[in-house]
Chains A and B, each alone.
Chain A
Amino acid sequence: MPATEMPVALEKSEAIAEARRQMEVCNACRYCESYCAVFPAMTMRRAFSAADLTHLANLCHNCKGCYHACQYAPPHAFGINIPATFATIRQESYAAFAWPAGMGRVFERNGTLVSLLAAFCATLAMVLSAAIQDPAVLWGAHAGPGAFYRVIPWWLMTLLAALCFGFALIALTVGGIRYWRGTGRSGLGAVAPAPAADAAVDVLTLRNLGGGGHGCNDFDDRFAMTRRWLHHAVFYGFLLCFAATSVATFYDHVMGHPAPYPFWSLPVQLGTWGGLLLCIGTAGLVWVKVVTDPGPVAPKLLGGEYAMLALLFLVSATGLLLLAVRHTGAMGILLAFHLGLVLAFFVALPYSKMVHGVYRSLALLRNAAERRASVAHTAT
């Protein structure tokens, strides 16, 4: 059995050792097997390597069902707290698999760094547009085709967008490949279409935040679907905004029809609804984090999560505001602010909470493949 490419930091992690201790209790208890995918995946194992635990941690959706049902949760001497322990491992795995390697350190004090980055980028956008164009563009009223480019020139917008987005894609891909190789032995090519389809359904429906139909312990020991719906709002809101940008890019670069577009046009409609969903989803998720029972929460990670939610909220809120005031003198400064925040989002993308999308999806894919293999094995 060839060894996995597991980073030393994870092999030696205290959280991994703690998770191993906890999983050995859980695997003898198994009361939680119907909550989510983690526990059936656990029962397929007898020993827990750092790779196994990293996989299980990334499979965990932080629904907290297992914590509130746990006969061994603190203050019991065993102190079983899977959600907090797994959240810590997830964070460590984001750092360990980050590319380029040194960038993993950014996950320490992630909240501070993301906030500083957002402030820096927003300032930079305003300074640059004032320096390159004319300070007056920031408070002048602009209208008609290409109005936005009079604030921030076309070449600058396109260059920065291409560079940041391109780099983020590369960094996320390399991180994902390193994660896949680190947490298992099979190549991605070995995955069949059926488990890939299972995983896609899991990602798109957040089945594991359903608790088997009645919801999760979003706030305390009662069950709710709140986080699932709010996450859907963020996820699909983000996709709508991304679609809006893609359609606008097509209009501009292929059809030669530059922004701004009328309110009822496709890009503006997609962006408006996407922005609204993002605002509701991110604000809601912040609210859930504030009011939830702190028992199963890893407080160290909250900074990065709040910062990323706040950044996404600000990006969408300034986008909506821009739509509202684009015919007024506030347009210039708001556009610079909005695009500065968008820039910060894409720069931070591979080094923020956002990477969970990649690792969670890969964990769901591995889990789907394992599950199907196990069913096939039982059947024969």
Chain B
Amino acid sequence: MVDLTRIYDVLVVGGGNAALCAAISARQAGASVLVLEHAPKPMRGGNSRHTRNLRALHPAPTDVQVESYLEEEYWDDLLRVTGGRTDERLARMTIRASQHAPGFLRDCGVVFQPSLSGTLSLSRTNAFFLGGGKALLNALYRTAERIGVDVAYNTEVQHIEMVDGHATEAIISYRGFPDRVRFKAVVVACGGFQANRNWLREYWGDAADNFQIRGTTYAQGTILKDLLAQGVQQVGDPTQFHAVANDARAPMEDGGLAMRLDCVPYAIVVNRNVERFYDEGEDVWPKRYAIWGRLIAQQPGQVAFAVTDSQAELDYLPSVFPPYKANSIAELAAMAGLDAGKLERVVAEYNAAVRPGTFQGGRLDDCRTEGLAIDKTHWARRIEKPPFICHPLRVGITFTFLAVKVNEHARVIMADGKPSSNLFASGEIMSGNILGQGYLAGFGMTLGTVFGRIAGKEAARHARN
């Protein structure tokens, strides 16, 4: 039973994977724990509800991951996507700890499965949750409640009072009523600020109005802003986020995973002015899907169009919204609202530049163009077999990287460089410590699980002393 008059050992702000891992770990360490989740129960779990897997180191094949994935390769992957904008000590610690993340989750009732169909072939590097993130959350909440964690839904934490690096109380809205919670330690695991369009506008201007928020609408960054305003050290670039190419017709909020489009490597992508702007075939899609959101965000109108033909249609997962289809490029351009003459020219130039090769979807093949200003380096086939196909694309933001700085104990660092005495963080709200830019599939859940466990344990230890 939630009792707001008592002093909890550990307050956990948020209700996703990072929060629940912290809550369960703190409770297992003997602390009394209260979880405050802003969302109502059916929508609980933040962005974890939309996730599917986590990236885990493993020295030998496991029942759900094939071959092996060792520290150096993991680190190398992370280094490459972040372009070096990371913290090696924290990153390596996370990578090493990721080995034990699937086991911890399994002990909490989460069921894993071998990865099956779909075009993201991640069966080596990532462990997949059976049924996806919502099933994972169901198991975590059930475990948390079974071991005695108190959970309140529809409860927003609006302010955490910080006095000399010490969190003293939380001001909350408990099912619409103002209240406060006292605690010995607090873990903030309440996400980035990606659903706060006004905040995004500070960096992106009007373009922010065209961003689709893929996940939870509750990620308003209220506590992130609150803490940064009270002398907590900031880390990460506020313009950096995880963003993918979404269907332009997806809902502006909470459209989830199924709105993303995997057609890019098998198409050419033009902007509103019918200009190609990036090598669509640079690398396999699992290594490139997360850069395309940002690429589209930088185009006029924050919109783009993937153009391909009937021979590519079965090479990528079907889209929820049907693509435009026409028997000529000119008709296709009209449907998409593009300049027909220009699109015909771009396709013709591209077709003329395609070199002969053997097409192999999913692996780096030798189908490439030569002589274009921006060459397509793999999977380049002539677009010539009607019906021609066009998927309109927009930016789908998953989460922002602006973060509170933490140390390896998940303890939040104050602006003067001293660690807070009782404030800890896990998940998206501290992602910028490791993700300066770019993204590795499944890394968000790894971060949440690893730092959630550490934050929970450390918070419980603090409460005990």
Contact = CB atoms under 8 A, between A and B. Distances in A.
Residue from B130, B131, B317, B320 with most neighbouring chain A CB atoms (10 Å): B131
Contacts of A214: 111
Contact of B118 (A30, A68, A72): A30
B134 A71 contact: yes
A75 interface: yes
A24 B251 contact: no
A29 interface: yes
Interface in B222-266: 251, 254, 256-259
Nearest to A75: B42
A75 B142 CA distance: 20
B133 to A, nearest CB: 7
A212 B116 CA distance: 14
B351 interface: no
A75 B42 CA distance: 7
Contacts of B49: 71
Residue from B116, B117, B130, B317 with most neighbouring chain A CB atoms (10 Å): B130
Nearest to B118: A30
Nearest to B254: A76
A46 B314 contact: yes
Contact of A69 (B43, B116, B131): B131
Contact of B116 (A25, A34, A66, A76): A34
B52 A31 contact: yes
A221 B138 contact: yes
Interface in A65-86: 65-66, 68-77
Contacts of B317: 27-28, 30
B117 A71 contact: no
Interface string A21-45: 0001101111111110000100100
A68 B135 contact: yes
B132 interface: yes
A35 B318 contact: no
A330 to B, nearest CB: 49
Interface in B198-225: none
Given A31-B52, A33-B116, A221-B142, A69 B132 contact: yes
Interface in A46-69: 46, 65-66, 68-69
Contacts of A31: 52, 131-132, 257
Nearest to B257: A29
B424 to A, nearest CB: 28
A223 B143 CA distance: 13
Interface in B106-136: 111, 113-114, 116-118, 130-135
Interface residues of B, number: 31
A185 interface: no
A30 B131 contact: no
B320 A71 contact: no
Nearest to A45: B318
Nearest to B321: A24
Contact of A34 (B113, B142, B320): B113
B330 to A, nearest CB: 26
A77 B256 CA distance: 11
Interface residues of A, number: 31
B113 A212 contact: yes
Contacts of B27: none
A222 interface: yes
A27 to B, nearest CB: 5
Chain A at the B interface: SS class: loop
B42 A73 contact: yes
Contacts of A35: 130-131
Given A29-B258, A76-B254, A221-B142, A70 B134 contact: yes
Given A28-B258, A30-B117, A77-B254, A71 B132 contact: yes
A73 B114 CA distance: 24
Interface in A185-225: 212, 214, 221-223
A320 B42 CA distance: 45
Interface string B36-65: 000000110000011010000000000000
B82 interface: no
Contact of B131 (A28, A32, A40): A32
B308 to A, nearest CB: 15
A212 B131 CA distance: 11
A72 to B, nearest CB: 6
Given A72-B258, A75-B43, A214-B111, A28 B320 contact: yes
Contact of A71 (B142, B257, B313, B314): B257
A31 B111 CA distance: 13
B28 interface: no
Contacts of B173: none
B50 A71 contact: yes
A24 B111 CA distance: 26
A28 B314 CA distance: 13
Contacts of A74: 42
Contacts of B134: 68-71, 73
B106 to A, nearest CB: 11
Interface string A268-300: 000000000000000000000000000000000
A77 B258 CA distance: 13
A165 to B, nearest CB: 43
Contacts of A27: 317-318
A69 B42 contact: no
Contacts of A70: 134
Closest 7 CB pairs of A and B: A69-B131, A31-B132, A221-B138, A69-B135, A29-B258, A28-B258, A34-B113
27 contacts: A24-B320, A27-B317, A27-B318, A28-B258, A28-B318, A28-B320, A29-B257, A30-B317, A31-B132, A32-B132, A33-B116, A34-B131, A35-B130, A65-B131, A69-B130, A69-B131, A69-B135, A71-B50, A71-B132, A71-B134, A71-B256, A72-B256, A72-B258, A73-B134, A77-B254, A212-B113, A212-B130
Interface of B: 42-43, 49-50, 52, 111, 113-114, 116-118, 130-135, 138, 142, 251, 254, 256-259, 313-314, 317-320
